[in-house]
Amino acid sequence: MSQKTQKVIIKANRSLWDLELKDFFKYKDLLYLLVRRDFVTSYKQTILGPIWVILQALMGSAVFTVVFGNIAGLSTDGHPAFLFYLCGTLAWQYFGSVFGVGSNALQSNLNLFAKVYFPRLIPPIGQAISSLLNFLIQLIVLFIALGIYHSTNPDAVVGPRGEVLLLPLLVFQSALLGLGMGFIISAASVKYRDLGRLAGMFTQFLMYATPVIYPISEIPERYRPLLAWNPLTFIVESYRHLLLGHSTASTLEYGIPSVIITFIIFLFGLVLYNKTQRSYVDYV
């Protein structure tokens, strides 16, 4: 017989840092297939297909424009209201969908995880990647909306500049943050489902604590350091900076705590998720 390729040691109380990353890379074909499956099946048996994603973004932004812009009269930081909200939703929705994927990772894959071993990180990471499809569609909608706006207002200064190339980094950060927070919720609600219920409420609260429907420049100066603790403040404001041209909280002052907190949350979520998956099938 050939030299055995691997040796598995199964024992109690493994180290928290045993993240099974070696296995993760061995299963990269599975990751690829899962992402491809999501791409292929996401619009099966719908007539309008991706148009729903477009409609959702347009409708949401239109409602925000009317309710918060026109009726409540909130400032939009000098950006055209519709573009401002469209950009906010774009940023928020990708984070939100990744957070949703993460916070259900152990629960929605139970049937699979209870029957066969493969690295438990693959399904949520795969879904975080396939969520990019909707994100890209929305991004295109935003660019089209920008184009239309420019053709009707030729002197407008709104729009992306060269810095827009940094966008992937920002997307990556929102994915890490969404997965990290999601993993914490998913792991914590395995045994006691109460937390799963809290997650929904928490997302809503978080959206209002993040400058999605208002710019941070609307917040009195002395409260802003408080908002800097919310890593999403920097993320959402930076989307606006990169895609619309300017914003307030896209500076290092917000960026450094945001990136550090993102990494801490992601690492904590990763370790907790990994620790929980080892025997969670006993509890659910």
Partner 1 sequence: MSNPIIEVENLSKRYRLGSIGVGSFLDDLRALGRKLKLPCKKTDPDKEFLALDNVSFSVSEGEAFGIIGHNGAGKSTLLKILSRITEPTGGQAIIRGKVSSLLEVGTGFNEEMTGRENIYLNGSIYGLNRNEIDEQFESIVEFAHVGKFIDTPVKRYSSGMFVRLAFAVAAHLKPDVLIVDEVLAVGDLGFQKKCMQKMQNVTTGGMTILFVSHNLQMIRQLCPKCMLLEKGKVISIGKTSDILSQYVTSKKKYLSCLEQEMQSERRRGTGLARFSKISYQNTEGQEKTKFFLQEPICFSFEIVAKEEIASLMVIIEIKTENEQEKIICASHEITSRPLKPKDRVQFSITFDKPNLSPGSYPIYFWAGTSDHFHFDILDNLLPPLEIGVPPKDSGTFRGLVQTSSSLAIHSLP
Residues near partner 1 (CB under 8 A) are 1, 4-12, 14, 26-27, 29-30, 33-34, 37, 40-41, 44, 111-118, 191-192, 278-279, 281-283
In which region does residue 69 sit, left (phi positive, over 0), alpha (psi from -120 to 50) or beta (all else)? alpha
CA angle 280, 13, 23 (to 5 degrees): 70
Please state the closest distance from residue 268 (CB atom) to partner 1, in A. 18
Distance CA 259, CA 47 (A): 41
Nearer to partner 1, 1 or 201 (CB): 1
Q: What is the CA radius of gyration of the chain?
A: 21
Please state the closest distance from residue 49 (CB atom) to partner 1, in A. 15
- Tell me the two tokens of residue 212: 């999605």
Please state the closest distance from residue 255 (CB atom) to partner 1, in A. 37
Distance CA 116, CA 210 (A): 40
Nearer to partner 1, 72 or 281 (CB): 281
Nearer to partner 1, 155 or 282 (CB): 282
Please state the closest distance from residue 278 (CB atom) to partner 1, in A. 5
Please state the closest distance from residue 123 (CB atom) to partner 1, in A. 10
Nearer to partner 1, 41 or 70 (CB): 41
Nearer to partner 1, 5 or 204 (CB): 5
Please state the closest distance from residue 31 (CB atom) to partner 1, in A. 9
Please answer whether residues 269 and 102 qualify as being in contact, where contact means their C-beta atoms are separated by less than 8 angstroms.
Answer: yes
Please state the closest distance from residue 101 (CB atom) to partner 1, in A. 17
- Where do runs of H (alpha helix) occur along 77-230? 81-103, 105-108, 110-113, 122-152, 167-188, 194-208, 224-228
Buried b (16+ CB within 10 A) or exposed e, 226-247: ebbebbbbbbbbbbbbbbbbeb
Distance CA 259, CA 102 (A): 19
Distance CA 107, CA 183 (A): 11
Nearer to partner 1, 10 or 71 (CB): 10
Please state the closest distance from residue 29 (CB atom) to partner 1, in A. 5
Nearer to partner 1, 79 or 120 (CB): 120
Please answer whether residues 145 and 230 qualify as being in contact, where contact means their C-beta atoms are separated by less than 8 angstroms.
Answer: no
Residue with tokens 């999605």: 212
Nearer to partner 1, 120 or 241 (CB): 120
